Amino acid sequence: MIFIGTMNLARTRERGDFYCPSCRSLQSYRLRAKRPWLTLYLIPVVPIGSVELVIQCDRCRSNWDTSVLKVDAESHQQLLEDQANHEIFRAVILFMLDDGYMMPEEIEPLRELATKVFDRKIDREQLGQLCSSAEQTGVSVKNYVESVFKHWSVDQQRLAIQVMFLAASLRGELGKARTALLMEMRERAGISPNEFEALVEDALQWQGC
């Protein structure tokens, strides 16, 4: 009986240093060339695919596309901040939709809030698309926040609470349901009542900006 199979072989082509997005620090790497081979009795005999080049961090063993070599610490940090701001705004939308709907009079103030806090202009169509996407996925703000809080910094978690507070008060006053939900978000972030009051005071000053 003839035993024919396949296996992936990898070899190191070069070494160097790069900024690892996982380690968030400068680390050594190996440029690995991977290629599938046809094997006969477990012996590679014929290459059957194209070569794939990957960057492997020597510390965490994460694999990256070669374009990662062009990313430095500063630009990577900016990417992380942009991603966190997008997640915070998405959490705010889910927060607003937790009671099942968003009032028409809340749309324009919410757009203005995004501009003030995130320096991000969002037109009504974009906001509508974000709301539709949130409704279609059916993810609750509690579950979403639970999944993203772990990689937000402390400052980003507090910013999320502040923006949620401002969004919850767009109708002029906090309803019981949104107040209870906001308190639950505060507890999830590990923010004490006194810290929460200070955050609210700071957030209220943004309204006059």
Tens-place pLDDT, residues 80-128: 788 788 888 888 888 888 776 777 778 888 888 888 888 878 888 888 8
CATH fold of 74-203 reads: TerB-like (1.10.3680)
Residue 194, pLDDT score: 92
For the chain, the domains span: 4-71, 74-203
CB-CB neighbours of 31 under 10 Å = 17
Residue 171, pLDDT score: 67
Short-list 41, 42, 44, 59, CA closest to 10: 44
